[in-house]
Amino acid sequence: MLDQIFKDLKNEVKFGYLKKKHAFRYPSLASIEDNIPIQRTVVLRDTTADFDLIIYTDGRSEKISHFEDNPNSSLLFYNHKKLLQVKVEGKMKMIKSGEEYDYHWSRVQGNSQKDFITKNPPGTPIDNPDHVGYNEDEHHFCLLKLVPESMEYLELKRPNHIRARFDKSNNWEGQFLNP
């Protein structure tokens, strides 16, 4: 049963980027700043063959400095229709060049590129939402890759909720947990 849960967990996360309307498309990403957890909603863009999770961001955003200081991170997914929560914890890698970086930047098309070509960093105060300036010849795209170290599955159902944890250090062998 644990093997099937682990397979289902991975499939649900993959559906988050494969199916645009899937509930797992927009997980909550947590970082640490001065020992305080900081969360924000992000878009899951891809997974690798090793199940690293891919997110795009502006390389000037505050989360970059959070991950430079402390690479520990987690993504929290929730599907309200299935009453299913998945938590993925691990180390965040920031990729700003190279073949993998170029591949993902090439996938950012049209208006979506505007997210990475603003003149000012994210969070800069402005007078009006229409006053965002853009650079046409430079971008600040950064690839974030969460390398999982543990994953938790929680399904709320009757007669019993199902909770399980899988750890990379234990070759992804699962263990049921009391919900």
DSSP labels for 125-142?
--S-GGG--B-SS---EE
pLDDT of res. 25: 97
Q: pTM for the full model? A: 0.93
Phi, psi dihedral angles at 90 (to 5 degrees): 180, -160
Looking at residue 19, what is its pLDDT? 93
Residue range 138-172, pLDDT digits in tens: 999 999 999 999 999 999 999 999 999 999 999 99
Strand extents, DSSP E, the chain? 28-33, 36-41, 44-47, 53-58, 72-79, 84-95, 141-155, 162-167, 173-177
DSSP state for residue 179 in the 8-state scheme: -
> Would the pLDDT of 82 be above 90?
yes
pLDDT value at 71 more than 90: yes
Instruction: Annotate 12-29 with DSSP letters as a single string.
Output: HHHHHHHSTT-GGGS-EE
pLDDT at residue 131 greater than cutoff 90: no
Q: Above 90 in pLDDT, residue 137?
A: no
